[in-house]
């Protein structure tokens, strides 16, 4: 028998198999329709853990009444093949009734970081995300859980919830995987891209070009946030099929920031600044984000 006094020790004991070998479990939460962004999360989880669980659950709680819950792409057989090839050990794909039994009445609400941007455009969305993510963390009890930077605000919400509620898991953010196809270079991979035709996808790559334009201006020495956002706006304006939802510069706490210069901003906090964009293109709402300063330039600056 082992006598354990601290929560940290309890976890480390629980995470060893019967021979005492440490076990680690990586969880990759998804809504399915798997693409190379998801397989990158799985690859990271595979490399950093002894076992990998992939959850596949289209969570009704995070969709608004007029959103695409019913239309969301579903292909369990195809996803299972991709997951197996990528080295997933356990695929957890519960029906809605298993996750939300009748009388379900609890919600996790994360204030502050949830409120602007996607939180403002999709009321209740992040409460739905936080609730299901906490349920998945409780069910799987992973050592690490993997989330894409593509959903930057979601990552901020999950990190805040895990810190606030003492959830014993390490949250790992994985950089956005982008299309390398010549006609849509830079487009952030997203399950919702499947709603677009090839031509529409190539036009949707304007989102990443806009963020890169602001990044390039920053790299060239421009420090006024309005000028950076104007460069991105000009690029977005070149696409007639686009309706902008938001374009903003935010700090690490998801607060919108305006700059005339960045004197006094440390390299560490600079690394947390992000340019965010959300827009509707051909009836599909897409999001993207990039750091203000590229990873290479940041390494050089630090
Ligand atoms: N291009 C990508 N690069 C890295 N991670 C990604 C990418 N796309 C999605 N992810 C991450 O995969 C996880 C599951 O996301 P989800 O199943 O909603 O896919 P999605 O492509 O984001 O779909 P949607 O189009 O509905 O936003 C999330 O953590 C998400 O951030
Ligand atoms: C994290 C998540 C799986 C929760 O349903 C979802 O929001 C997603 O796929 O990004
Ligand atoms: N990828 C984020 C999940 C959503 O848009 O509902």
Contact 196, 281 (CB under 8 A): yes
- CATH 3.30.1300.10 domain range(s) in the chain: 182-301
Contact 268, 275 (CB under 8 A): no
Look over the chain and give the mean of its residue pLDDT values, rounded to a whole number: 93
Residues 288-298 have pLDDT tens digits of 999 998 777 76
Residues 247-295 have pLDDT tens digits of 999 998 999 988 877 777 777 788 889 999 999 999 999 999 999 987 7
Residue 7 scores a pLDDT above 90: no
Instruction: Give pLDDT, residue 8.
Output: 75
As a dihedral over the C-alpha atoms of residue 244, residue 248, residue 254, residue 259, rounded to 10 degrees, the angle is -170
Instruction: In whole angstroms, give the CA distance from residue 109 to residue 100.
Output: 17
Q: Which ligand 2 atom is nearest residue 59's CA?
A: 5
Contact 133, 158 (CB under 8 A): yes
pLDDT band at 301 (very low <50, low <70, confident <90, very high): low
Give me the phi and psi of 207, to 5 degrees please: -60, -45
Of 103, 105, 106, 79, whose CA–CA distance to 92 is shortest?
79
CB of 213 closer than 6 A to ligand 1?
no
Class of domain 182-301: alpha beta
Instruction: Return the ligand number nearest the Cα of 29.
Output: 2
CA separation, residue 54 to residues 1, 26, 58 (Å):
33, 8, 13
Residues 17-52 have pLDDT tens digits of 777 788 899 999 999 999 999 999 999 999 999 999
Out of 41, 53, 93, give the residue to mutate to test ligand 1, the one with the largest number of ligand atoms within 8 Å of its CB. Answer: 41
As a dihedral over the C-alpha atoms of residue 136, residue 87, residue 160, residue 122, rounded to 10 degrees, the angle is -70
Instruction: In whole angstroms, give the CA distance from residue 40 to residue 58.
Output: 20
Query: What angle is formed at CA 288 by the lines to CA 56 and CA 291, rounded to 5 degrees?
Result: 115
ipTM of the complex: 0.98
CA separation, residue 12 to residues 46, 53, 143, 163, 200 (Å):
20, 19, 10, 19, 49
DSSP state of 155: H
Out of 64, 66, 149, 154, give the residue to mutate to test ligand 3, the one with the largest number of ligand atoms within 8 Å of its CB. Answer: 154
Instruction: Give pLDDT, residue 298.
Output: 66
- CATH 3.40.50.620 domain range(s) in the chain: 7-174
Residues 172-219 have pLDDT tens digits of 999 999 999 999 999 999 999 999 999 999 999 999 999 999 999 999
Instruction: Give pLDDT, residue 22.
Output: 82
pLDDT band at 99 (very low <50, low <70, confident <90, very high): very high
Contact 223, 262 (CB under 8 A): yes
Contact 149, 30 (CB under 8 A): no
Q: What is the CATH number of domain 7-174?
A: 3.40.50.620
Instruction: Summarize the confidence of residues 144-153 as an average pLDDT.
Output: 98
pLDDT band at 53 (very low <50, low <70, confident <90, very high): very high
pLDDT band at 222 (very low <50, low <70, confident <90, very high): very high
């Amino acid at each position: 028998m082992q006598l354990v006094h601290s929560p940290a020790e309890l976890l480390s004991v629980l995470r060893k198999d019967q021979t005492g070998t440490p076990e680690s479990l990586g969880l990759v939460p998804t809504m399915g329709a798997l693409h190379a962004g998801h397989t990158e999360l799985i690859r990271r989880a595979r490399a950093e853990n002894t076992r990998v669980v992939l959850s596949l659950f289209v969570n009704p709680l995070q969709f608004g009444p007029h959103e695409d819950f019913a239309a969301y792409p579903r292909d369990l057989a195809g996803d299972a093949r991709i997951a197996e090839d990528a080295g997933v050990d356990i695929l957890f794909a519960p029906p809605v009734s298993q996750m939300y039994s009748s009388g379900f009445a609890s919600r996790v609400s994360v204030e502050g970081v949830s409120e602007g941007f996607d939180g403002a455009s999709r009321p209740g969305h992040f409460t739905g995300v936080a609730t299901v993510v906490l349920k998945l963390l409780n069910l799987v009890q992973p050592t690490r859980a993997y989330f894409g930077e593509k959903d930057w605000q979601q990552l901020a919400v999950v990190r805040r919830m895990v810190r606030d509620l003492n959830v014993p898991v390490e949250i790992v953010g994985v950089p956005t995987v982008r299309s390398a196809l010549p006609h849509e270079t830079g487009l952030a991979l997203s399950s919702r891209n499947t709603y677009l035709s090839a031509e529409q996808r190539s036009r949707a790559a304007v989102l990443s070009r806009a963020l890169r334009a602001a990044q390039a201006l920053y790299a060239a020495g421009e420090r006024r946030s309005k000028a950076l956002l104007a460069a991105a706006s000009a690029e977005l304006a070149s696409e007639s099929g686009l309706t902008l939802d938001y374009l903003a510069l935010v700090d690490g706490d998801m607060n919108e920031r305006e700059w005339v210069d960045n004197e006094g901003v440390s390299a560490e906090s600079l690394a947390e600044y992000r340019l965010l964009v959300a827009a509707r293109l051909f009836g599909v709402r897409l999001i993207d984000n990039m750091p203000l300063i590229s990873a290479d330039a940041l390494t050089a600056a630090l």
